[in-house]
Amino acid sequence: MRTVSYFTLFILFFAACRKDEPTKIVDPPPPPTEYIPTYSPCGTETGEVFAIKSTKRWQAGASCRTVKISGKTYWVVEFTTCSSGALRESITFGAIPDHNPIQKYAFQHWHNGVIAGTLDPRYHILGADGDVLEDTYSIDTTTSVTNFFEIDRWDKANKRAEGHFAFSANIREPRYNPASPKKVAFTSGRFWLNLP
């Protein structure tokens, strides 16, 4: 009986004196990098835009034009990038009212026409010679990015507009190009453009 007691004490003493191995903290592997294409601006004579596209610095050309919808005049602002002279990306912010353009616009899907104070932007990826629509993206309503488009300056006398924006979008499935990312986010966006 004494032998069992000594043996038990010996085991407890040995276990108490034994050094524990330090726990190794292993960082989780980085998430797989998603293909985020970036291109050059399609000319900046009429305007320019800078933003962060997902995690990369993004620059594009900017332009605008007017359209008539139900007899009212609206402005359409477009940001574009090119590769080897061919259009590759386009973001369109449409139906900015001519009578009151300086405001902050929320984003909303328009199912039955223009909704005052909101925009329904689109992001497009183009292929071939810039004339083939590959994939289209629309507003991501589940994102932590606060989607908005704000015009800070709209000076018709000097023909110049300025503003800032943030836009997160989801791809519309089925996608044409399997390499196109499922989501795209543009943050810290600033732009200027010449008014026609």
Question: How confident is the model at residue 136, as a pLDDT?
Answer: 95
Beta-bridge partner residues of 161: 154, 193
3-state SS, one letter per residue, for 130-188: CCEEEEEEEECCCCCCCCEEEEEEEECCCCEEEEEEEEEEEECCCCCCCCCCCEEEEEE
Q: Is the pLDDT of residue 166 over 90?
A: yes
The answer to the question of residue 32 being in a domain is no
Could you tell me if residue 88 is inside a domain? yes
**Is the pLDDT reported for residue 34 higher than 70?**
no
How much is the pLDDT for 87?
Answer: 93
Is residue 21 domain-resident?
no
Q: Average pLDDT of 97-105?
A: 92
Specify the number of domains making up the chain. 1
Flag whether 3 is in a domain: no
On whether residue 81 sits in a domain, the answer given is yes
Question: What pLDDT is attached to residue 33?
Answer: 61
Average pLDDT score over residue span 13-28? 58
User: Per the domain annotation, does 190 fall within a domain?
Assistant: yes
pLDDT for residue 187 is more than 90:
yes
What CA–CA distance (Å, rounded) separates 181 from 56? Answer: 14
185 lies in some domain = yes
Alpha-carbon distance of 104 to 37, in angstroms, equals 29
Token pair of 189, please?
A: 């966006």
Confidence of residue 128 (pLDDT cuts 50, 70, 90): confident
Contact, 67 vs 196, CB < 8 A?
no
Q: Is residue 170 part of a domain?
A: yes
Range of the domain at 83: 37-194
